[in-house]
Each structure stands twice: as structure tokens, then as C-alpha cells.
Structure 1
Amino acid sequence: MSTWGKNNPDQSPKKNWTQEEAKGKLETYCAYQERCAWEVRRKLYEKGIQGKPADDLIEEMFRDGFLNEERFAKSFARGKFRLKKWGRARIIRELKLREFSPSHIKTGLSEIDPEEYYDTLLTQAEKKWEKTKEKDPYKKRYLVLQYLVSKGFEQDLIKEALESIQSQE
């Protein structure tokens, strides 16, 4: 818990939104960055709006074009892959957490170029291989493999990349 409120007694604690206030705030929230219905529902819950009123607001956001699940899935997959260097498995897991349908997940993953994906995996594997100080090559391989699995890359591709790296040494 932050002590900010204690140091600033004039500042009121977070207040709940009214239905009218929520629409404007949500439009700003969704216009700032691509959002999905799950994130908007969480935001509404934090601000004291639940059930039918929340569903109505979310439906209205879809109608007005502020929310679009397909657009979000594409943007999410592209961004997490290019910026955070996540693999497909991690992206799928995160989209499932946000309650996306398999068709939207598939659409989102179509944004990732297979060649760029493998090149990124290889680059990540090489970087981790160089940073890992382990002397035993089997332990080192295991540590790099675990790291890449945690990033969401597939085991068969990881093994291929590690064999490629080890054959260069």
C-alpha cells in the first residue's frame, strides 16, 4: 500500500466511476493503446462497475470501434514477439489468459514471419549461450534450453538452434 495518501491528505482515495463518466474514460483508455475486452472489464471492476452495466459499456466500445479483438491479437503478437522476444507458446498462453478464441489467436500468430521467428530464436540462444558461465556443456545446454522454453519457444526449434550453435564451436 502506498503512503502517498498519508503524505497528501487533500488527495482523495480512488473513487468509483459513474456510468456516464466511465464511457468517456474508457474511450480515452482504449484510444491510448490497443485494449481487449478482458482488460476493459478489469478496469471497470476496479472502478466499481460490474455485471450488466459493464457488459453494456464493453458492447458499446465494440460498436464504436474502440475495441476489436482481431486487431488486438495481431498487435499483441507482433509487439510481444518483436519487443520482448517472446515465442509462440508464450503469446498463445497470454492470449488464452485474456480469453481469446482460437481463431483470434491464430490470426494474431499469423503476424509473425517464420524466418524472422527462427532468426530471433537463434539470436536469443546465442546471447544466452555466451552469457551462461557453466563449464559442463550438458548443464549449459540445459540452462539455455530452460531459458528459451520460458520465453515461449518450441522445444524442437530450440534443439535445432542449440545444435547449430554447438556445431560452430
Structure 2
Amino acid sequence: MEHKSYTFLEIKQKLVNYCVYQDRCHQEVAQKMRDFLLIPEAKDEILLYLMKENYLNEERFARSYIRGKFYMKSWGRNKIRNHLKFKGVPEKLINSCFNEIDEEDYQKTLTKLYHNYYEKIKGAQEYQKKSKTITYLLSKGFEYEEITQVIKTLGGE
């Protein structure tokens, strides 16, 4: 396959566009740079430029990622944290950004998910329904303590 060669400025512009389209983390930008055969100095220069001009902002990325995965996909904190870690976002930064999720919204979402999933399970005994629902919520990334709290609140204990 023939590779089109780009000038340094064209590559820089492509990476600006990549960051403008949606918030990116450093790892995603580094991965994208591998598509272009750049010398390390050129990569560093582009990275610095993207950060200086605020196209690349790891905190902004983490915050919008957390909001999106919680409010759009109803993921719990554990799943969000693991995915951000996998993207190379530092744990300290992840923890400082979790205030993007309103605590009340977190509880409401967890309660709603519990209720909806629990009601869908047919032909199982009480404890099986509860156990399946807990497993489902753990897979969505919710904390076990939070789940058991919801069960207590719903009068299931």
C-alpha cells in the first residue's frame, strides 16, 4: 500500500483536527502519530504545540470521558476508572475528576439499573434474581458496597 507523504505542517494540522473533533488523551495522540513516520523531535514538537494551544488536555479528556460514560452509557466508577487507566491516564488525575458525576445522579442511576434489570429476570427465585442483578451491576462497574446499599434502600435485605 502506498503511503501519501505529508509535510510537517500538514501532519500537525491533521493532529489538531483529530483533537478538535473530540477530546483525546496523550496515548491516543501518540498512537495517531505512529500513522505518520515522524522523527521523535517532530513528535515532541507537535505534542508540545497541542498541549500549549490546549488542543490536548488530559484533564479535560478525563472529565468529558467520565461524564460521557456515566451519563450516556451508565457505567459505574470502577469500569470508567479501568478504561481511563488503560488509556494511560494517571490514577491521581482520574480520582480528581470523578466529581464530574453528581453523587445523587449516581445513586439514582444505580437504583434504576437495579430495578430495571431485576424486573426483567423471569422464572428465577428471589435470591437468584438478586444475585444475577448484582453480577450485572458489577459488570457495569458499580461498587459492591454501593449495590448492597441500594438493595437495603429498596428493602431487599
Please indicate the TM-score interval, normalised by the length of the shorter structure: 0.7 to 0.9
TM-score, length basis structure 1: 0.82
Matches within 5 A, 1:126-165: 126-165=115-154
Q: Check the 8 A contact 2:80/2:141 in 1, yes or no.
A: yes
CA shift at 1:15, angstroms? 4.5
Distance 2:99 2:149 in 1: 22
In structure 2, the gaps of 5 or more residues are: none
Q: Check the 8 A contact 1:74/1:111 in 2, yes or no.
A: yes
Distance 1:108 1:102 in 2: 10
Question: Which has the higher relative contact order, 1 or 2, with Cα contacts under 8 A spaced 6 or more apart?
Answer: 2
Residues 66 and 126 from structure 1, CA distance in 2 versus in 1: closer, same or farther, beyond 3 angstroms?
Answer: same
SS at match of 1:162: helix
CA shift at 1:54, angstroms? 2.5
CA shift at 1:91, angstroms? 1.0
Please report the RMSD computed on the Cα atoms of aligned residues, expressed in angstroms: 2.2
In structure 1, the gaps of 5 or more residues are: 1-11
SS at match of 1:110: helix
CA shift at 1:14, angstroms? 6.4
Deviates more, 1:25-34 or 1:45-54: 45-54
Q: 1:5: which partner in 2?
A: none
2:74 counterpart of 1:74:
no
Deviates more, 1:69-78 or 1:42-51: 42-51
Q: How many residue pairs were aligned?
A: 157
Distance 2:43 2:22 in 1: 20
